[in-house]
């Protein structure tokens, strides 16, 4: 006949605690990164450091060229580029904290693509002149290489979680410089057309002096490059990306808002130009060149942000119902 003994109970409890500790240790070891051998982490760290240094050194002439163009920009694009860097760093830190739970094996395919993209970007830098769109393409390749570097080091899902913050580094490149040389006259003309339609609807007798000048018997307004709307378009595109990412909107909502950025920016810029004309019409050049001419681009962002906020809520509600 078996008898209960307190010593047997204590011994069995100690065995169960030991078994539980061994299970926990096994779980911790199973969640560790695949680079857990004695020599693996050191070698992998050296390779990743070499890749990082190579990309950074390759980006140096691109950044120097971008700075030389932005510093001569008449549209304030350099301010957008400078703001893009801290935004990318802040959002990258937020994304990294949200993706701490993701554990994947590094992608070998991404390593091969990384090597190819770095070689292509380096060849572009060596072959092209000190100016031109090929440097813009090389800079885009180098920034894409950072994404491939994350894929190669930590896996696709980890890299995808910080893809949007990384994309903000593209705004450091002088896209606006090339938009100005290729689309500036078109936007100036469209802004003049829309402003004339609005003024005619208000009862003013206005007409085109040329494709980007609003003329009348009393006052005329030349829509130059600073009033074309390019700067507002680039900045609004960037801010919409930030807002929809922080708000965790549906992808359909994000894409819809990005498509709406262009008509919203054109409408806001048309209102701004029309108000400048009205100030000049009633108050002369002194009123037209006053606060509204220089500060209205910033003031208009307040109602624009409100519009984007309500559009985001409405679109999210609609897509959620489906």
Please spell the DSSP secondary structure of 283-295, one letter per residue.
Answer: HHHHHHTSHHHHH
DSSP 30-78: HTS-S--SSSHHHHHHHHHHHHHHHHHHHHHHHHHHHHHHHTT-SS-HH
Parse the chain into domains and list their residue ranges.
42-173, 177-321
d(CA 126, CA 136): 13
Residues in the chain: 322
How much is the pLDDT for 237? 85
DSSP letters, 173-222, are S-HHHHHHHHHHHHHHHHHHHHHHHHHHHTT---EEEETTEEE-SS--EE
Strand locations in 236-296, DSSP E? none
Q: Per DSSP, what are the bridge partners of residue 208?
A: 214
Q: What is the pLDDT of residue 5?
A: 42
Positions of the chain with pLDDT lower than 70, given as ranges: 1-41, 72-80, 129-132
Dihedral of CA 13/18/19/24: which sign? positive
pTM recorded for the entire structure: 0.66
pLDDT at 106: 76
Q: Give residues with Cβ within 8 angstroms of 252, minimum separation 6.
A: 315, 319
What's the DSSP call for residue 105?
Answer: P
Q: How far apart are CA 288 and CA 65, in angstroms?
A: 35
Give pLDDT, residue 256.
Answer: 92
What confidence score (pLDDT) does residue 74 get? Answer: 52
């Amino acid at each position: 006949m078996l008898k209960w003994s307190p010593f047997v109970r204590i011994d069995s409890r100690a065995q169960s605690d030991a078994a539980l500790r061994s299970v926990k240790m096994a779980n911790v070891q199973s969640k560790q990164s695949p680079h857990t051998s004695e020599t693996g982490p050191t070698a992998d760290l050296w390779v990743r450091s070499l890749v990082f240094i190579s990309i950074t050194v390759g980006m140096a002439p691109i950044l120097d060229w971008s700075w030389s163009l932005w510093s001569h920009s008449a549209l304030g694009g350099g301010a957008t580029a400078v703001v893009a860097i801290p935004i990318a760093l802040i959002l990258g830190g937020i994304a990294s904290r949200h993706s701490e739970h993701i554990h994947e094996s590094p992608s070998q395919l991404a390593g091969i693509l990384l090597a190819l993209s770095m070689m292509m970007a380096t060849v572009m830098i060596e072959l092209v002149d000190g100016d031109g769109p090929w440097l813009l393409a090389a800079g885009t390749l180098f920034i894409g290489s950072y994404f491939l570097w994350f894929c190669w080091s930590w896996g696709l899902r980890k890299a995808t979680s910080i893809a949007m913050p990384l994309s903000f580094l593209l705004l450091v490149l002088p896209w606006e410089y090339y938009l100005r040389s290729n689309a500036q006259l078109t936007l100036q003309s469209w802004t003049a057309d829309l402003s004339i339609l609005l003024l005619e609807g208000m009862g003013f007798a206005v007409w085109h002096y040329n494709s980007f000048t609003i003329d009348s018997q009393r006052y005329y307004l030349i829509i130059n490059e600073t009033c074309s709307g390019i700067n507002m378009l680039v900045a609004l595109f960037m801010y919409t990306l930030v807002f929809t990412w922080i708000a965790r909107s549906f992808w359909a909502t994000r894409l819809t808002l990005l498509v709406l950025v262009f008509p919203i920016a054109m409408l806001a810029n048309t209102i701004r130009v029309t108000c400048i004309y009205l100030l000049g019409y009633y108050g002369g050049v002194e009123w037209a060149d006053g606060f509204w001419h220089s500060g209205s681009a910033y003031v208009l962002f307040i109602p624009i942000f409100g519009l984007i906020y309500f559009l985001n809520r409405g679109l999210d509600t609609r897509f959620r119902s489906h």
